[in-house]
A and B are shown apart, each in its own frame.
Chain A
Amino acid sequence: MFKLNLKIALRNLFKNKGYAAINIGGLAIGLTAFVLLLLFVNHEANYDKWSPELKNVYQVREYHDFFTPDNKQYWQQINESRIAGVLKEKVPQFKYVTKASRGWGDGYSIKIDRNAPVIVKDIVDADSLFFKVFPYQFINGDGSTAMNEPNTIVLKQSVAIQLFGTDKVVGKQLKLVRWRSDEGNLMTITGVVKNPSASESLAFTAVIHTGEREKDPDQISSSNYTGIYAKTEKQIDTNVLNKTLLNVYTDYKKALLKARGETFNDFYKAKSRKPGLKVLPLSEVYSNPSFSENWLDKIKPIIALSIFLLIISVINFVNLATAQSVQRAKEVGVKKVLGAYKKQLVLQFLIESAIQTLSALFITIILVELLLPSFSSHFDVQLSFWHSNHLLPIIAQLFGLFVFITLLAGFYPAIILAKYNPVKVLKGNYESSFKGMALRNGLVVLQFIIAVTFIIGIGVMYKQNSYMANKDLGFDRDKLINISTNYDTDDPFVESVKRIAGVKYVATTTQVMGNTFNTPRELTFNNQKFDINAVTVTMDALPALGVKVISGRIFAKEYAQDTINSVVINQAAANLLGKNLVGKTFTSGSNKDVFQIVGVIKNYNNESFEKAVLPTIYKVTHLGGSSNTNNLLVRFDNDHYQSAIKTIEAEWKKVYPDFPMMYTSVEDSFQKELKPSLRLMQIVVLFSVISVILSLLGLFALSTFMAKRRTKEIAIRKILGASNLELINMLNRSFLILVIIANLISWPIAFILTRKWLEGFAYRIEMPFWPFAIATLTSVIIAILTVSLQARKAAVNNPVDALKYE
């Protein structure tokens, strides 16, 4: 029976090759997007799952407000270093506690023998217990002793090969230079570990043991921050443990604050802060970043898009299957009379959709393999399919998807078919048993709602993106580069750069696109308190950026006062403080330092357009404290500055031979800020095009069926004197109404969705009208063309043929 049904299914597929191709191909496209997403989700969900032992590894998180974007408390991955010692002593469940943190900045320089130094990113500085907690597999060296001595380093296999060309490097030495003027340490390689099979939240190229992580600051008033990881004997109930941790932490904080001459109450209650310490299973670390959205929230729009695409292709499938069912009516009727149970018939048709789904899945797998490289590079992830180390779960998921799609696409048509009444069918009464008309119309409307919404989405996103790309940023971003380095006063390197031909300004600031560090500060003006953002700059920073002065002046050498207490404010700050501000003063800080406003500048964007420019004061003076964030701006006076950069690099090499110079152009930083929304738009464009094509294919196939079904009617009407055009119009009408209904529904949906997207930008366009008009026009025109193509064929046929055939 199964064999015979299989044969019938294949014969039917062959008989209706065109529809089968549309069905299977459409489904394959919808599935491809979904499977790519599935691979991505698998990749993201598999962080820190490369060893079963990691189930017993936990990350410690302290609830504090040090180094947060807005001075509020967060569950942070960096903890005060003394906590590690306290945990070792007070929490017996922890077998090992290790302190490990990635270094600050853009990487460390590694120099091997006389070779040129290379920057290596993601070097973790850890104490001697690191490999007791993290079960990395040592290819060379001994994990139990590798980190015993200071100045030792353990390399990942891939990095060892990259640096030395081999992983047999234990015993060799290399020089580690952590910032440009660092003397450097000679480190001995004590081990090489295998690259694990899944991603790591604490990804590293190398682990160094400097000995610094072993110690806490001597002075009780200073603190050091580090990541802390603990390993337990067996898996534990974190809820219970976290209660213990909070008690331990509270006791510790009380003692510490007392030693510092503060009280627990003053520190927490008075400032409405809360003490907090907890552990997170390592497997949850990646999905719970301290400050930003987690990956799942970030890809939500894409998840929605691919689900919509899948829906569209499943709809095609259902529509075509039910439309085709007329052809199968007789088979159903006869089989019922021969004694088939309804269940058997449902199963038969489900098997037929299973065959089609399986073929679609097969094509999907090929498409995924083909698309994976470009998909991976587009999303900056390393995805793999056949070579994935969790191939088994992925195959299980694909099987689940297969069953789900088969049921989703096949169940309704199967039921419709199996329900045919044999008497009606065998009387030749197919027309009246042509079921599912309303549903099919509903599904066509749904498809077009999705497609039209996509098209409108493209229009709105295109407008917003071109607005952002062309927006006046309030500063001049070309001929400007940012060298990643600290700035010292009277820095000899900076002085030499200033003398290079073509260099106009050399300056530093904590606020530049690509690397912005905001320090919140409270000031008192006219007896009123304001929260404001403070930026430390050098004298030339504002001219180097090319900001626009609204009133007063910006800093200049001629004014001695500028190094004492002058500040420049931006328009946002001026709006906050009032009018006629130039010359006015305000106080700030615990010493009530007095600052004088000398000028107001136009707001300039230094972060992505999602964020509004903060009310900001700029100051050169160190009065009230200053900060420094590795930005050295160099503005050139002409477009051919590549040779000037060469000269700067040569200068750098003279002074800092062991640390390579790193820089980016501010234009690149700007493009990087635009990237996320551009990327989203590209995906929406791709998905829209596919969804429109799929919807049209569906409409095309459906209208073919309609035309076929109405051949006799058309023939009779023709004999009665209807013109071809009138007949085409007749066939078009029913579909046109559907497409127009779909447009009416998608307008508000698209409006709400795109407005929500636009609201994510502090700088955005007004809702444009033309994408709506264009989407409607395109959908209507394309639908008419598609249907007419079929209708024409039916209409121009010789009516006599059609009637004879019937």
Chain B
Amino acid sequence: MIELKNIEKYYANKGVKSYILRHVTTSIKQGEFISIMGPSGAGKSTLLNILGMLEEPTYGEYHFMGEDVTAMNERKRIELYRNHIGFVFQAYHLIDEMTVAENIEAPLLYKKIPGAERKSRIADVLDRFNMVAKKDLFPNQLSGGQQQLVGIARALVAQPSIILADEPTGNLQSAQAEQIMDLFKKLNEEEGITILQVTHSEKNAQYGNRILTIEDGVIKEDVSVNN
């Protein structure tokens, strides 16, 4: 599904190149649940952003479902966001002026899904996440865990093939974190959604079936997990 070949990312400051990512080469198959680990500042978020096409690599090849991303125009890239990629953020990043239901509805609007289907899909996820009662609340009326559930619901409602999650449980207490992880695992196993998460927690990493460890911009380890 994803092929990375020799990805490099550096920022040039006063002629000095500071490398964030070096020689990153890997491939990700449909249906994998991968955890990215590594110390702070290692380049995990940068890698995720590159995978999510929010940032461009300075050098290297990136193929997403067989298509060359580096040669892609903006419009095409936006089409991919809409149809294949769902993002989940550490800081949730819900839109404050929208209710829960509206936040979940937003990606469907960009996908131009007709109204009736939108309604049923929203009802579905709300039901699944046990949030029906909260659908008309605004984000600041929810707890952190609830906000993150909405964040995941929003990523999920567009039926993406891959979810990119940058420290999705970083702001949460362990009980809430566990709930999110269980959800990821279920989605991965039951619906075959590819999941890529950045995490600092050894425990959370175990939910997936593969762990990539990054240090100083280089993939140090790439191990499979058997559970």
Which residue numbers of A lie inside 8 Å of B, CB to CB?
Answer: 1, 4, 7-8, 11-12, 15, 330-331, 333-335, 337-341, 344, 422-423, 426-428
CB distance from A355 to the nearest CB of B (A): 14
- Taking A1-B109, A4-B109, A339-B111 as contacts, is the C-beta distance between A334 and B78 under 8 angstroms? no
CA distance A12 to B138 in the complex (A): 13
- Can you list 21 A-B pairs with a CB-CB distance of less than 8 A? A4-B98, A4-B109, A7-B97, A12-B97, A330-B93, A331-B95, A331-B96, A335-B106, A337-B87, A338-B81, A338-B82, A338-B154, A339-B107, A340-B78, A340-B110, A341-B78, A344-B110, A423-B54, A423-B55, A426-B54, A426-B93
Q: Kindly list chain A residues whose C-beta atoms are within 8 Å of the C-beta of B55.
A: 423
Within 8 A of A (CB), among B88-140: 89, 91, 93-98, 102, 105-107, 109-111
Q: Kindly list chain B residues whose C-beta atoms are within 8 Å of the C-beta of A339.
A: 78-79, 81-82, 107, 110-111, 158
Nearest CB to that of A1 among chain B residues? B109
- Taking A331-B95, A331-B97, A333-B93 as contacts, is the C-beta distance between A338 and B75 under 8 angstroms? no
Q: Kindly list chain A residues whose C-beta atoms are within 8 Å of the C-beta of B75.
A: 341
Tally the A-B contacts, defined by beta carbons under 8 Å.
Answer: 65
CB distance from A479 to the nearest CB of B (A): 73
Pick from A12, A15, A341 the residue with the most CB of B within 10 Å: A341
CA distance A426 to B45 in the complex (A): 11
Q: Kindly list chain A residues whose C-beta atoms are within 8 Å of the C-beta of B45.
A: 427
Nearest CB to that of B154 among chain A residues? A338
> Could you give, for residues 144-158 of chain B, a 1 whenever the CB lies within 8 Å of some chain A CB and a 0 otherwise?
000000000010001
Q: Kindly list chain B residues whose C-beta atoms are within 8 Å of the C-beta of A341.
A: 75, 78
- B82 with A330: CB separation less than 8 A: no
Q: Kindly list chain A residues whose C-beta atoms are within 8 Å of the C-beta of B109.
A: 1, 4
CA distance A330 to B54 in the complex (A): 15
Partner of A422, one of B54, B95, B102: B54
- A428 with B91: CB separation less than 8 A: yes
Q: Kindly list chain B residues whose C-beta atoms are within 8 Å of the C-beta of A1.
A: 109-110
CA distance A15 to B97 in the complex (A): 9
The answer to whether B209 has its CB under 8 Å from any CB of chain A is no
Pick from B102, B109, B158 the residue with the most CB of A within 10 Å: B109
The answer to whether B49 has its CB under 8 Å from any CB of chain A is yes
> Could you give, for residues 58-93 of chain B, a 1 whenever the CB lies within 8 Å of some chain A CB and a 0 otherwise?
000000000000000001001101100001010101
Partner of B102, one of A7, A423, A426: A7
- A4 with B106: CB separation less than 8 A: yes
Within 8 A of A (CB), among B22-53: 45, 49, 52
- A334 with B93: CB separation less than 8 A: yes
CA distance A333 to B95 in the complex (A): 10
CA distance A228 to B160 in the complex (A): 82
Partner of A338, one of B49, B79, B107: B107
Nearest CB to that of A8 among chain B residues? B97
CA distance A334 to B75 in the complex (A): 17
CB distance from B103 to the nearest CB of A (A): 9
CA distance A797 to B78 in the complex (A): 44
CA distance A345 to B81 in the complex (A): 16
Nearest CB to that of B49 among chain A residues? A423
CB distance from B147 to the nearest CB of A (A): 13
Which residue numbers of B lie inside 8 Å of A, CB to CB?
Answer: 45, 49, 52, 54-55, 75, 78-79, 81-82, 87, 89, 91, 93-98, 102, 105-107, 109-111, 154, 158
CB distance from A128 to the nearest CB of B (A): 73
Q: Kindly list chain A residues whose C-beta atoms are within 8 Å of the C-beta of B91.
A: 426, 428
Partner of B105, one of A4, A15, A334, A428: A4
Partner of A337, one of B81, B94, B96, B97: B81
Q: Kindly list chain A residues whose C-beta atoms are within 8 Å of the C-beta of B154.
A: 338
Nearest CB to that of A5 among chain B residues? B109
- B54 with A337: CB separation less than 8 A: yes
CA distance A426 to B46 in the complex (A): 12
CA distance A428 to B45 in the complex (A): 13
Nearest CB to that of A330 among chain B residues? B93
Nearest CB to that of B53 among chain A residues? A337
CA distance A422 to B166 in the complex (A): 14
CB distance from B102 to the nearest CB of A (A): 6
Q: Kindly list chain A residues whose C-beta atoms are within 8 Å of the C-beta of B98.
A: 4, 7-8
Nearest CB to that of A342 among chain B residues? B74
CB distance from B101 to the nearest CB of A (A): 10
Q: Kindly list chain B residues whose C-beta atoms are within 8 Å of the C-beta of A344.
A: 110
CB distance from B16 to the nearest CB of A (A): 20
Question: When A and B form their complex, which 4 residue pairs have the shortest distance between CB atoms, in order from nearest?
Answer: A339-B82, A339-B81, A339-B110, A1-B109
Q: Kindly list chain B residues whose C-beta atoms are within 8 Å of the C-beta of A4.
A: 98, 102, 105-106, 109
CA distance A417 to B98 in the complex (A): 18
Nearest CB to that of A427 among chain B residues? B45
CA distance A1 to B109 in the complex (A): 6
CB distance from B184 to the nearest CB of A (A): 19
Q: Kindly list chain B residues whose C-beta atoms are within 8 Å of the C-beta of A338.
A: 81-82, 87, 106-107, 110, 154, 158
CB distance from A339 to the nearest CB of B (A): 4
Nearest CB to that of B78 among chain A residues? A339
- Taking A335-B106, A339-B82 as contacts, is the C-beta distance between A426 and B97 under 8 angstroms? no
CB distance from B75 to the nearest CB of A (A): 7
CA distance A12 to B97 in the complex (A): 7
CB distance from A194 to the nearest CB of B (A): 56
- A334 with B82: CB separation less than 8 A: no
Q: Kindly list chain A residues whose C-beta atoms are within 8 Å of the C-beta of B102.
A: 4, 7
Q: A337-B54, A340-B78, A428-B91 are in contact. List 12 more A-B contacts (CB 8 A).
A: A4-B102, A4-B106, A12-B97, A331-B96, A337-B81, A338-B106, A339-B110, A339-B158, A344-B110, A422-B54, A423-B54, A426-B54
CB distance from B206 to the nearest CB of A (A): 27
CA distance A340 to B79 in the complex (A): 9
CA distance A334 to B87 in the complex (A): 9
- B95 with A335: CB separation less than 8 A: yes
Q: Kindly list chain B residues whose C-beta atoms are within 8 Å of the C-beta of A422.
A: 54
CA distance A67 to B41 in the complex (A): 92
- B95 with A334: CB separation less than 8 A: yes
- A426 with B78: CB separation less than 8 A: no
- A330 with B81: CB separation less than 8 A: no
CB distance from B119 to the nearest CB of A (A): 13
Q: Kindly list chain A residues whose C-beta atoms are within 8 Å of the C-beta of B93.
A: 330, 333-334, 426
Q: Kindly list chain B residues whose C-beta atoms are within 8 Å of the C-beta of A331.
A: 95-97
Q: Kindly list chain A residues whose C-beta atoms are within 8 Å of the C-beta of B79.
A: 339
CA distance A427 to B45 in the complex (A): 10
Q: Kindly list chain A residues whose C-beta atoms are within 8 Å of the C-beta of B81.
A: 337-339
